[in-house]
Amino acid sequence: MKNEYYGDKRDLVKWGTLVHLCQAHKLHTVIQVAFFRQKDTLPTLSSTQGTFKLHNAVWEHFRNIRKIKELRILGINVIDHIFNPTNRSAYTKHVISVIEGIKSPGRLVCLDPDTGIAPTNVKSEHVTEEEIKKYWDVIDKGDCLVLYQHARHVHDWQSLCKNQFMEACDISEAETYNCPEIAHDVAFFAALK
């Protein structure tokens, strides 16, 4: 997830879904696996007088993925370790160690890559089926795993991606959450272990 995506309409659907799941299943801790890719430079603004960088305080107010921790109705942990797609295994190991270190009963682990589960070609904005399996294997009975999924350019993208998620977790059913009136191009797949 890039900072510039934080706080958009998809985040309303994501965090609405996560809060609902926590309340419905009596989960108390959200662990957001952000697959964080930080932007190195701030955007440049233009005027008739020239160009200037956006002030960092403005950027941090509107585009800081850590701000979600201010939502005080749940315990929220944001794994904002920089995701380096050229070393995916090191990132996965780091995330697993963080998840294992959070010894709270009733955890919800949200996998939050930019576009969701990888199709045939894995890019930096994806999580792989193998990675999902590793995260599924590390959570405890009673925990929940959730995947953010952006629409693909195929007709039945939700069913296709949900099946990939279920296959990765080796389960026969998962819940799908979406909100077409706010963001028709995203879905969340959730499985309770």
pTM over 0.95: no
Q: Are 77 and 111 in contact (CB under 8 A)?
A: no
Q: Note the Cα 42 to chain centre separation in Å.
A: 23
> Tens of pLDDT along 47-58?
777 787 777 677
CATH number at residue 128: 3.40.50
Compare 11 and 20 and report the one with higher pLDDT.
20
- The token pair that represents 27 in the structure block: 């989960």
Output phi, psi for 132, to 5 deg: -60, -45
Cα angle value 27/88/62 (rounded, 5°): 60
State how far the Cα of 2 lies from the Cα of 127, in Å rounded to an integer: 14
Domain count, the chain: 1
How much is the pLDDT for 101? 96
Give the number of C-alpha atoms closer than 13 A to the C-alpha of residue 109, restricted to the C-beta side. Answer: 29
140-151 burial, b for 16+ CB within 10 Å, e for fewer? Answer: eeebbbbbbbbb
Average pLDDT over residues 148-170: 96
Average pLDDT, the chain: 88
Residue 115, classed as helix, strand or coil, is: coil
DSSP character at residue 3: G
State the Cα–Cα distance between residues 117 and 11, nearest whole angstrom: 18
What was the pLDDT predicted at 1?
52
pLDDT at residue 3 greater than cutoff 60: no
Q: What is the pLDDT of residue 36?
A: 85
Between these two residues, 40 and 123, which has the higher pLDDT value? 123
- Span 16-22, mean pLDDT? 93
% of residues, the chain, pLDDT over 90: 66
Mean pLDDT, residues 160-177: 97
**pLDDT reported for residue 98:** 97
Mean pLDDT of 133-139: 98
Q: Residue 41: its pLDDT value, please? A: 72
- Structural domain boundaries, residue 65: 3-192
List, as one string, the DSSP characters of 38-105.
--SSPPEEEETTEEEEPPHHHHHHHS-GGGGGG-TTSEEEEE-PBP-GGGHHHHHHHHHHHHHH---S
Check residue 147 and give its pLDDT. Answer: 98
φ/ψ of residue 3, rounded to 5:
-55, -35
